[in-house]
Amino acid sequence: MDPDLIANILYATIRTGTPLLLVALGELVCEKSGVLNLGQEGMMLMGAVAGFIAAYHLGDSGIGIVSALVLAMAAGALMSLLFAFITLSLNANQVASGLALTIFGLGLSSFVGLGYVGIALNGIQPWELPLLSDLPLLGKVLFSHDPLVYFSLAMAALLAWFFRSTRAGLIVKAVGESPESAQALGLPVLRVRYLAVLFGGAMTGLAGAYLSLVYTPLWADHMSAGRGWIALALVVFASWRVGRAVLGAYLFGLMSIMHLVLQGFEIAISPNLLATLPYLVTIAVLVLLSSNQARSKLFAPLSLGKPFQPGH
């Protein structure tokens, strides 16, 4: 393969992995606090449609884009607030509520986005970092991305630091491990969980906007195409650790653009069959990770998915 193709593949890998990384980071924080939210698809689509509509009306440059991204995060967070209310305040089953959020988001986003199908925007353009982006190979792969790529990496670093060295990070982990003990210590379990769920929603909304403003700057029904679910598997793959989530996101990104790679080898396979690859890889990765039961249990937050009712 020629170096240009390799650079293109690596560049596309990072772009494709970025929305997965954003969702995974959000869900990681949410799960660390002990809440299992399966509503990523719904939140992502709402973020995508909200971001797109905002950018369409406010203009897709400068302040318009910033507002669009903020609105996308707000849309994701609002959706997750709905989930937080029925699971945390009303104690509904987290699995069923997450599914409800996804089904609701699928319907609501296609309803809201109805008048915007088929419109294209310029979207968010990459920043070519001066000098650095002129480097051979590395310039294209590392220094010619859109700002959200750098934001996702900065957020990963921030979260790694947050969980390793801050008191707040410790509190989130304590709430996820044992809400009873955390409450006994006087920690506001519900408030921590609400905030974690909201953060997850905001990040997922942003990931949606990445799809509709960067990756393919347009709105199409159900355009998240299962990425939310893949990101969920990614959190398991990362064994709830931030560093591994970054690696995992790019690995899954690479799998999703295998058509580019295979093109380099001049292998022609039906695009429909190639499209199954990321899902197949997800299953394979889950199998590898789950087989060792003791190990996988070691990393999952102990109270993940279990309802908790604070004492009166």
Partner 1 sequence: MKLPLNIRLEARGERSRVMVWLSPAIAGLATLVCGSLLFAALGKDPLQTLYTFFVLPLSDLHGWSELAVKCTPILLCAVGLAICFRAKVWNIGAEGQLLLGALVGSWLALSLQESDQWWNLPLVLLAGAGAGAAWAAIPALLKTRCNTNEILTTIMLNYIGLNLLQYAVHGPLKDPAGFNFPESALFNDGLLLPVLAEGTRLHLGAVFALLAVVATWVLLTRTFVGFQIRVLGEDVRSAHFAGFRAAKLVWLVLLLCGALAGLAGVVEVTGPIGQLVPQVSPGYGYAAIIVAFLGRLHPLGILFASLLMGLLYLGGEMVQIELGLPLAITGLFQGMLLFFLLASDVLISHRLRIVRAAPGATTATVVSRTENLPIGVP
Coil, strand or helix at 312: coil
Of 11-19, 22-30, 108-116, 250-258, which part binds partner 1 (CB under 8 A)? 108-116
Q: How far is the CB of 102 from partner 1 (least distance, A)?
A: 8
CB under 8 Å to 24, separation ≥6 — which residues? Answer: 231, 234, 235, 238, 245, 248, 249
Q: How far is the CB of 168 from partner 1 (least distance, A)?
A: 25
| Identity of the amino acid at 28 | L
- Residue 117 touching partner 1 (CB under 8 A): no
- Residue 298 touching partner 1 (CB under 8 A): no
Q: What would the two tokens of residue 76 be? A: 């994701």
Long-range contacts of 262-271 (CB under 8 A, 24+ apart): 263/5, 264/1, 264/5, 264/6, 264/9, 265/1
Contacting residue, 6, 142, 170, 225, with partner 1 by CB under 8 A: 225
Q: How many C-beta neighbours within 10 Å does residue 57 have?
A: 12
Contacting residue, 106, 195, 260, 262, with partner 1 by CB under 8 A: 106
Give the interface size with partner 1 as a residue count (CB under 8 A). 52
- Residue 290 touching partner 1 (CB under 8 A): yes
Cβ–Cβ < 8 Å for 311, 183: yes
- Residue 100 touching partner 1 (CB under 8 A): yes
Burial (CB < 10 A; 0-12, 13-18, 19+), residue 170, is middle
Q: How far is the CB of 284 from partner 1 (least distance, A)?
A: 10
Which residues make up the interface to partner 1 (CB under 8 A)?
A: 38, 42, 82, 85-86, 89-93, 95-97, 99-101, 103-108, 110-111, 114, 221, 225-226, 229-230, 232-233, 236, 270, 272-273, 275-276, 279-280, 282-283, 286-287, 290-291, 293, 296, 307, 309-310, 312
